[in-house]
Structure 1
Amino acid sequence: MQIPQYLLERLKRNEEIAGKFNEIEMSILSILNFDDFFKRLLFQIADKFSIPHIWFSIIRESTIGKQLKGNSDSEGLKSTIAFVSHERFISIINNQKPVLANRNLTYFHDLMPVTLTEPIGSLAIAPITLDGKLVGSINLADIDAHRFEPGIDTSLLEQLARKVSLCLSNVTAYEQLKFMAYHDPLTGLFNRRVFERILDREFSRAKRYNSELSLIFIDFDDFKTINDTAGHRIGDKVLCFFADALGSLKREQDIVARLAGDEFVVILPSTGKKCAAQFIKRVTAYFETNPMVSGEYVFNIRISHGISCLSDEGVYNPSELLKTADSEMYRHKAEKKKP
């Protein structure tokens, strides 16, 4: 029996598309960093399928969303990724099937990157997953209102989303390993090894350019009591709450790290002791009015701190800068215990 011509044409078209998918997959499998991955992937898809606008929407609260936010200063990521809240994303995508639209496109504004300023006629949103969990979507747009018209077959979009999800899992796994090598696994702050390298760099830079440099050593008051009364799980939440607050209160150039346990440090480049004292004053004031709440527990965080700077007596190297701040912190803690 002779195969109908339209079936032959469809088979040929499917083979061509499968070939393009394979070329895209092979071109990105060796990439192991987010920036290059997203740029290469989107370029390949746009080029092979002649799509004028293509980008990712990533759920901000997802694991990959948190990882990517750490790289959000990258110009490449700014133009290829839009971050959206889980609640808003789910309101648009209530299952894992592609969504097509060519009317009321302003409804999808939260899914669009700030760099997308040209008018579009139709939009395709293909959900992507990571380890079986919905993490966002890959989005295609065209000025042609009929290209992604609701009602057309979305099987190719689903294939594309599956390919993208598979490739994304590879680069995400590698980025997670790299992140863990440099960051504290609980709070996401820099770990001690990275802190020491940064301190060495900033100390040398301050000496070279005769600029100021301050360091703040911070320690919780009675953190052991939190662990003993509420358990380590709540104690971990308190540490994360504290780390997030420090991250939001610091300047862009400041570096926050967790040394161990409840010990944190802040490096303040080009900053004298007076300005460092103002910073820790803001931190203290913040926790006085913002207790950490978890279920039935409410903790008013109290801290002790010590500040050192490049001009302090006996500070001839980075380790002395840290040691001086540590000594000042213990002195502060002891003074608070005096009747």
Structure 2
Amino acid sequence: MDLAAAHRVSKGAGITVAVLDTGVVADHPAVKGRVLENGPNYVEDGHEPGDPLWGKHGTAMASDVLKVAPEAKILPVRVTTDDDDADVWEDENERSSLAKAINYALANGADVISLSLGDSGSLIGPYDTSEANALGRAAQRGVPVVASAGNDGDKHNDSQFPAAYPSVMAIAATGKDGKRAPFSTVASYVAFAAPGVQITSARNTGGYSPVSGTSPAAALVSGVVALMLSADNDLTPAQVRTILTRTAHKPAGGRNDLVGRGLINAADAVRAVDSVPDAGAGPVDYEGDKHLVAPDGTPKRITVPLHTEDIVATAAAIVIGLGMLLTGIFVFRRSRRAG
């Protein structure tokens, strides 16, 4: 990601990154002094700060953000758990907690929202209107949102939320060779990619351990966005996405569902802030009639009329076919009894 060169331009000073995760152990050396007070705990799993199952994933993700943006601040909000036996992510109340956490982050000065979490589901699965509305408010207020694309590989194409929400930048994971990691979800909503294999991250119980997944990849990109906003805090989410698109190491053949627009380069992204592109997004004044037009004679029916002749012919063919089948069965049984 060329972080050394990026840090010569920006280290994320003045930027707050909201890490919506499992909580953050604030006294770990990797994050100490950079963590604001832990926000609300929206998970009722019985775990509290100091428990081995509190802040395991969240502390690791916060350290990964600070690995890229060492002078940024972390705003932790607990929205999920490290306890595999506590199935809270599927709980309806917990699902709405993510929307509450996003709103809390917006109300408490978040400049970037990092979501290294997710849930895959069916066609009518975990899409949540309250979450979509909260993300819409984030976009309206100019706060970029980064999420992990998922760790389902290429086994199926179920959408994973929050990565699949339109306003979110979904991040795939790459290995040390720069290619998509085998576990990284393949999906049409993948925006970019970042390293996600054996990323040295903080342990909530002390020390460090390697972490693999699209979670650390998303945390690293959240750090890159913090560097960009520190260099120019007026960047809109659309401009951030445009800069990342222009500066990413593009895959051969152009954008694909494996790594999106390509592997993020922090140094190039931060340097490109000096020439902010016109993202072409924003409210515009409405010009034109503000009422329904008068009838112009267009018929109300816009569907193709049914071809009744074809339907009757098909039905007749089915009836004749069934009759012949039943007659054949009857003749066959009579001949067997006669024999």
TM-score > 0.5, shorter chain as reference: no
The TM-score, its normalising length taken from structure 1, stands at 0.21
Q: Which one has the bigger helix percentage? A: 1
Q: Which one has the bigger strand percentage? A: 1
The TM-score, its normalising length taken from structure 2, stands at 0.21
